[in-house]
Amino acid sequence: MKVQHMFYQEVIRVKLNMTEEKLLKLKPIFESILSRKYGKEIKITALRYGQHISVGDK
């Protein structure tokens, strides 16, 4: 159990440098994961990371 806890702490320390381009690349991945999970086609109209980075349909 302690090994899992140590691994979890290491994951938390990773700093994400998210950009709008990265968020745009992740959007279709999130859509496909959610579509598979719920068995329906899901389209994300807006996606936001933090307060300053957001993408939406153009």
What is the pLDDT averaged over residues 28-39? Answer: 94
Owner of token pair 């300053």: 52
Distance, in Å, from the CA atom of 27 to the CA atom of 43, rounded to the nearest integer, reads 9
pTM of the model: 0.64
9 in a structural domain: no
Confidence at residue 56, expressed as pLDDT on a 0 to 100 scale: 82
Q: Check residues 25 and 15 and name the one with the higher pLDDT.
A: 25
Count CA atoms closer than 13 A to 32's CA, side-chain side: 5
Q: Which of 6-10, 26-30, 47-51, 54-58 shows the lowest per-residue confidence on average (mean pLDDT)?
A: 6-10
| Spatial separation of the C-alpha atoms in residues 48 and 43, rounded to whole Å | 14
Count of domains forming the chain: 1
Residue-averaged pLDDT of the chain: 78
Are residues 21 and 28 in contact, defined by beta-carbon separation less than 8 angstroms? no
Q: What is the rounded distance in angstroms from the CA atom of residue 34 to the CA atom of residue 52?
A: 24
Give domain status of residue 12, yes or no.
no
Domain that holds residue 25: 17-56
Is 1 among the domain residues? no
Residue 50 placed within a domain: yes
Identify whether 31 is part of a domain: yes
Query: Rounded mean pLDDT of 7-23?
Result: 68
